[in-house]
Amino acid sequence: MPTFMIAGASLAGAKAAEMLRDEGFDGEIVLLGAETERPYERPPLSKGYLLGNDELDSVYVHSEDWYAGHDVDLRMGVTVTAIDPGASAVTVSGPGGPETILYDKLLLTTGASPRRLDFPGSDRPEVLYLRAVADSERLRAAFQPGTRVVVAGAGWIGLETTAAARSNDCQVTVLEPRPGALQDQLGPELGAVFADLHRAHGVEFRFGERAVEFRPGMVITSGGAHVPADVLVIGVGAAPNDALAAAAGLEVGNGVLTDSALRTSAENIFAAGDVANSFHPLLGRRVRVEHWANALNGGPAAARSMLGQPVQYDPVPYFYSDQYDLGMECAGLPSPGTYDQIAYRGDRDALEFIAFWLSRGTVVAGMNVNVWDVNDDIQSLIRSAREVDLSRLTNPDTPLSEV
Ligand SMILES: Cc1cc2nc3c(=O)[nH]c(=O)nc-3n(C[C@H](O)[C@H](O)[C@H](O)COP(=O)(O)OP(=O)(O)OC[C@H]3O[C@@H](n4cnc5c(N)ncnc54)[C@H](O)[C@@H]3O)c2cc1C
């Protein structure tokens, strides 16, 4: 019986295991995870779970008995330490000590880890990161009314954490070396919408400044300011966990390189989720997408590829965020340089609108803010790559499906 092994037991890995069984694979499935929690979803860790609104039980991908029920050998607290593609074997370390396990096919879903900052005081216990359940619980405990919180990084994690801290009546200052919020993710125009939202909730931004030192009670910034701080939360992006693949001789570069069927450069080894830098047929280039939907759909796509089915993985990248009472969904990757125009439908000031990023008259990305049930239509517009009529695009009376 063939053994399909999955290294990394989170959303992408667990969903891959599910797809293998759904497609009738009756060989062995070994799902190896370094964490001691069974696979869970991370978005609630900076939202409902951090705020104390969601129970831990609601974040898991599957119920506890699902794994045994589907004959999936889930091994938690087990880290893959080496891959030997020639021998089709992995070495693991876990509670039972080191062990070598043979595979027929291997899927890498090792995800990403927060980028760490190194400066005087950065190893103090008041300096916190957010990736796993325990991190979220640490932040929740720290966010007491009146706590002085400094957040380093005005990206998604930084801003969602800021919203949670403000919702708990903490005093929050955000440090961001770039001139605005979400510059790489949305560009300056839409990044400003989020900065204004936070300012309206009493958040102070210090753009052009980074944290250079933490002392109990304060963060010292690159501009020389001493900002009062009981805790410093660092959210400066995540790096792919691709060292294992690199050491095994697989091609890596900002993640494990794959083709559009999620095959790596090594035979019988696949990669999906945050760790994969995959050729995207729609965009015509490689992208590494660190978003929930990419783990949700990429794991299953890789599973089908492992089964030898024809796979062309080309979803329009999709992301969502909730901050205070703003909910948004974003399709496409609207980073600076990818667009030459922005068009709006709805009321931007009232925070009820759709923003479209266009390049030479075609929609390359779209974000619906407090407007719902339109993201599929936005994705179809992006996918069509057709020039659009701006007056119809921006007219709320024209259904998006008819633009
Ligand atoms: C706090 C937070 C909030 C987020 N919110 C959103 C959101 O609102 N919307 C959105 O679209 N996306 C969001 N994301 C991103 C989304 O959660 C990720 O894209 C998703 O978790 C990626 O899943 P993954 O399975 O690829 O990797 P991961 O979730 O990173 O899981 C990889 C797993 O592999 C394990 N692992 C690593 N190396 C090894 C090894 N050598 N051996 C064994 N196991 C190993 C890791 O411990 C981990 O459990 C958020 C992320 C975080 C951290």
Quote the pLDDT of residue 186. Answer: 97
Quote the pLDDT of residue 96. Answer: 86
Mean pLDDT (whole number) for 109-116: 98
| 186 ligand 1 Cβ < 6 A | no
- Six-digit token pair at 40? 């869970």
Please state, in angstroms and as integers, the Cα–Cα distance from residue 19 to each residue in 25, 303, 316, following that order.
9, 6, 21
Residue 349 Cα to ligand 1 middle (Å): 34
pLDDT tens track for 122-176: 999 999 999 999 999 999 999 999 999 999 999 999 999 999 999 999 999 999 9
Phi, psi dihedrals of residue 273, rounded to the nearest 5°: 80, -155
Nearest ligand 1 atom, CA 244: 41
| 80 ligand 1 Cβ < 6 A | yes
Is this model's pTM higher than 0.75 or not? yes
Nearest ligand 1 atom, CA 275: 26
Q: How far apart are CA 319 and CA 331, in angstroms?
A: 7
Quote the pLDDT of residue 56. Answer: 96
List strands edge to edge, sheet with 256-258: 256-258, 276-280, 285-287
Residue 121 Cα to ligand 1 middle (Å): 27
Q: How far apart are CA 196 and CA 198, in angstroms?
A: 5
Does the pLDDT at position 248 exceed 90? yes
